[in-house]
Chain A
Amino acid sequence: MDWTGILSDGLRAGLGINAAVYALAAVGLNVQFGYAGLWNFGQAGFLLVGGYGTAIAVNSWGLWLPWAVLVGVAASILLGLLLGIPTLRLRGDYLAIVTIAAAEILRIVVNSTKVQSVTGGPQGIGGFANWFFDHNPIARGRYGFGTITYDQRQLWVTLVTWALVALASVLIAMLVHSPWGRVVRAIREDEDAVRSLGKNVYSYKMQALLIGGAIGGIAGIMLVFDQQFIQPDLFESAITFYAFAALILGGTARIFGPILGAIAFWFLVEGADSFLGHAVDHNFLGVGHLIDPTQVGTFRFVLVGLVIMLLVIFRPQGFLGSRQEVMLGEQ
């Protein structure tokens, strides 16, 4: 068994672009769910409108990419408004169901043949991020340490995404330590108490939803930049569940929670994948008899599901969270 190979496969993914995109999506969820207690189950939808907004603005309207990125972010803020206005006055379950429904509607609609001329339907849109890669300051070559290397293209998009994660985290840290953050956290604990102090609960919740959604939109933009390609399948509702898993893994209502969680999540996912692949090849512990090589990818999801279950059951506060602050633990 090639243990160093498995470890470096895990680490490469844990530091890579996917982990960075998920960290960004989870930072957004952390504002909504961790601090404000909002059940946004449609984060995939925010990623989708961010990504599609940008891709369509370049592809159909011929906008300069930086303007197109603003269009993408504006689109995800608009989505937040549309979802928040009807549901933020209702109980949390309703927001959860409406957001997940909206994310699915969006995915089905962009997939539809009716709008194929704009969204490309199931075939998607490609090649809209040339400007971004044309401005890559990193010289050609492979960079990294040991067996964990990235080429200049991967390194560029990965570094930019991690920088955005850092920027978003700093902004959120400043926000949650301001009076705004205290009100939002109080809303999570007891809405009525905050309302009795004369605060406009609805407006605070809306702000939290929009900030988290905009960060989600940026995550979607970086996801499709990396691929230079956008297609509806990239935005399955599973993306929301995995972002939640990453957030809970790291610890909700903690600044570093979503970042650490996303790194750990992708380390686990790709490490498990690599482990299963090697184990099947070398018939480690008789695994080769149990799993067909083509089923390794599928087993990975079983593992992810198990990790989510065990985490929530045995350590609902994640790596960094405090038991008191995490609503998962309370009745």
Chain B
Amino acid sequence: MIVVFGLAGIGALLGGGRAHAATTTTTPTTPSASVGGTLAVDGHPVPGVRVTASQGSTEVGRAVSDQRGAWRIRVPGPGTYKLALDVSTLPSGVRAERPELAEYRVFGSFAQSAGFTLTSAQSKTSGGQSRLDQLLNLFVSGIRFGLIVGLCSVGLSLIYGTTGLVNFAHGELVTFGALIAWLMNTMSSGPRLPLVLATIIAMIAAGVLGAGLELGLWRPLVRRRSGASGRMLVSIGLALVLRYIYQVIFKGAPRSYREYAAPSPVKIGPLQSPVRDYVIMAICLVMLLVVGAMLRQTRLGTAIRAVSDERDLSSASGINVAGVTLVVWISGAMLAALGGVMLGVGSQGVQWNMGFRLLLTMFAAIVLGGLGNPYGAMAGGLVVGVASQVGTYWLPSDLQFAIALVILILVLLVRPQGILGVRERIG
């Protein structure tokens, strides 16, 4: 089951401020009052669903969701409306958790969003599964999510370890990979390559981006003796710039890849997942094992761990710290890009802010595992992934992400250095 929030009220924060600006000025670009959203189930858009808005018993507007699941209704102005989703227009096997939002408030002349939660029959609410089976299935999807989180956050952790930068723009590297792969694979005017090839191109592009960022931004900043906190703020600015450029180019709605979009689940014992999901898990696991082995076995890996442990001493003992940092940026960005594609292939879909939404989960993973420790990122990712998925067995799935963060805070209380962290690291 996937909760889908409407995407139209992007930046509702600054948008909230706009409400007043719009009433006092007549900026021609300001849209009139409207409410809209995106309907999707398990990451796939649901077209052809009718939504109506009414005040009292009078209908004031209606819309039908388009190919991307998006719908938007223009309403006369601020006020309270009843939004209703026509359940008879839903595809079979899909149902709405709450088909009616009885008192939806429109509070200004701008585009607002409303979310309807759709559930598919294949989700955990499906009948016929015993409780144990449901838990098992959630556990497996938690492992899959955790492996993806681990893959995405190894780079974040290594970058922190080698440079001391808490990189708030790491989520945008994840999105970058998924979007480049989408351009190469799905966009109608693009080359429409097979996804495997598109993923490889996306990883190479992300590697180039990572190298560019290190050489063009971070290295000069370190040379200017900019502190760790200053660089953290620069990464926040960079994340904003990249994220909203993605939104300009790719618009708001989630998309899926041309291939592997809607596979049918295969039953193996009590487990019910499409083969695709097992392939995703295998790819992530293999990549993580390869990274782990490289860190342990190769000279480069030893150098990375040395720089991560003690930068100055490594430099003094002849390790090319600048080179190691560059390698870390390139490989971290490539892993993040691969993780992004894996996330996009799975239930989430490809979206301009998918990496940003994952950012706090990645932070949770690396803090949980021990800041700066790449194995910790993997372990932390698994813990966060499994906990957030299995937790939805007892709690509503819109709290899924909160569960991961609560676990993070709880672990920090008992073991501030993280699961695999070294005590001295917390300083």
A12-B21, A309-B238 known; A105-B28 Cβ under 8 A? no
Q: Is the CB of A91 within 8 A of B398?
A: no
User: Contacts of B413 on A, CB cut-off 8 Å?
Assistant: 86
> A307–B412 contact, CB under 8 A?
no
With both beta carbons as reference points, the residue of chain B lying nearest to A149 in the complex is identified as B24
Does B13 interact with chain A (Cβ within 8 Å)?
yes
Q: Is A112 in contact with B240, judged by CB distance below 8 angstroms? A: no
If A112-B398, A298-B247 touch, whether A309 touches B412 (CB-CB below 8 Å) is: no
The B contact surface, by secondary structure, is helix
Q: How far is the CA of A236 from the CA of B113 in the complex (A)?
A: 15
Is A97 touching B396 in the complex (CB atoms < 8 A)? no
Q: Is B226 an interface residue (CB 8 A)?
A: yes
Known contacts A97-B363, A270-B21; is-contact A299 B409 (Cβ 8 Å): no
How far apart sit A223 and B17, CA to CA, in the bound complex (Å)? 10
With A114-B396, A305-B237 already in contact, the answer to whether A101 and B408 are too (CB < 8 A) is yes
Query: A295 vs B251: C-alpha distance in the bound complex, in angstroms?
Result: 9
Q: Note all chain A residues with C-beta closer than 8 A to B166.
A: 93, 96-97
Chain B stretch 214-268: residues in CB contact (< 8 A) with chain A: 221, 224-227, 229-230, 232-234, 236-245, 247-248
Interface residue count for B (Cβ, 8 Å)?
A: 73
A241 interface hit (Cβ, 8 Å): yes
In Å, the complex CA distance between A266 and B103 comes to 32
Give A283-301 as 1s and 0s: 1 = Cβ < 8 Å from B's Cβ atoms: 0000000010111111111
Segment at the interface with A among B4-12, B338-346, B375-383: B4-12
Most buried by A among B19, B25, B103, B233: B233
Q: Do A308 and B409 touch across chains, with their CB atoms under 8 A apart?
A: no
Residues 221 to 246 of chain A near chain B (Cβ within 8 Å): 223, 226-227, 229, 231, 233-236, 238-239, 241-242, 244-245
Interface size class of A (residues with CB under 8 A): 35 or more
Interface residues of B in 317-374 (CB under 8 A from A): 360, 363-364, 367, 371
Given contacts A94-B426, A97-B367, contact A312 B29 (CB under 8 A): no
* Cβ contacts under 8 Å, B398 to chain A: 108, 111-113
Asked if A241 and B105 sit within 8 Å, CB to CB, the answer is no
Q: How far is the CA of A223 from the CA of B371 in the complex (A)?
A: 36
Q: Which among A16, A101, A239, A300 has the highest number of chain B CB atoms within 10 Å?
A: A101
Q: Smallest CB–CB gap between A249 and chain B, Å? A: 11
Within the complex, which residue of B10, B18, B27, B367 is in contact with A94, where a contact is CB–CB below 8 Å? B367
Complex Cα spacing A149 to B25, Å: 10
Query: What is the minimal beta-carbon distance from A269 to any residue of chain B, in angstroms?
Result: 7
A75: Cβ under 8 A from any B Cβ: no
Nearest A-chain residue to B30, judged by Cβ = A277
Closest to B241 in A: A305
Q: CA of A56 to CA of B27 in the docked complex: distance in angstroms?
A: 35
Q: Quick check: is A263 within 8 A (CB to CB) of the other chain?
A: no
Known: A112-B398, A269-B14, A306-B237. A123 touches B101 (CB 8 A): yes
B28 touches A281 (CB 8 A): yes
Contacts of B296 in A (CB 8 A): none
The answer to the question of A302 belonging to the interface, with a C-beta cut-off of 8 Å to chain B, is yes
Residues of chain B from 373 to 419 with CB closer than 8 A to chain A in the complex: 395-396, 398-399, 401-402, 405-406, 408-409, 412-413, 416
Which A residues lie within 8 Å of B238 (CB)? 305, 309
Pairwise interchain contact A39-B426, C-beta atoms closer than 8 A:
no
A234–B427 touching, CB < 8 Å:
no
Q: Which residues of chain B are near A331, meaning CB under 8 Å?
A: 225-227
Q: Is the C-beta of B31 less than 8 angstroms from some C-beta in chain A?
A: yes
A144–B124 CA distance with the chains assembled, in angstroms: 58
Whether A302 and B405, one on each chain, are in contact in the complex, defined by CB atoms closer than 8 angstroms, is no
Smallest CB separation, B330 vs chain A (Å)? 22
With A86-B412, A101-B363, A114-B396 in contact, is A13–B17 under 8 Å at CB? Answer: yes
Q: Which of B9, B360, B395 has the most CB of A within 10 A?
A: B360
| Given A101-B360, A123-B103, A233-B12, also A309-B396 (CB < 8 A) | no
Closest to A280 in B: B29
On whether the beta carbons of B25 and A114 are closer than 8 Å, the reply is: no
Chain A contacts with B in 62-101, Cβ cutoff 8 A: 86-87, 89-94, 96-98, 100-101
Can you add 17 more A-B contacts, CB < 8 Å, to A112-B396, A229-B107, A293-B29? A98-B408, A102-B409, A112-B399, A123-B105, A150-B24, A226-B20, A233-B13, A234-B13, A235-B13, A241-B240, A266-B17, A277-B27, A296-B29, A301-B11, A302-B241, A304-B237, A305-B244
A sample of 22 inter-chain contacts (CB < 8 A) reads: A86-B409, A86-B412, A90-B426, A93-B166, A94-B416, A98-B409, A114-B395, A114-B396, A229-B105, A233-B13, A233-B113, A234-B16, A244-B233, A245-B237, A270-B17, A299-B244, A299-B248, A301-B244, A309-B241, A312-B226, A316-B226, A330-B227
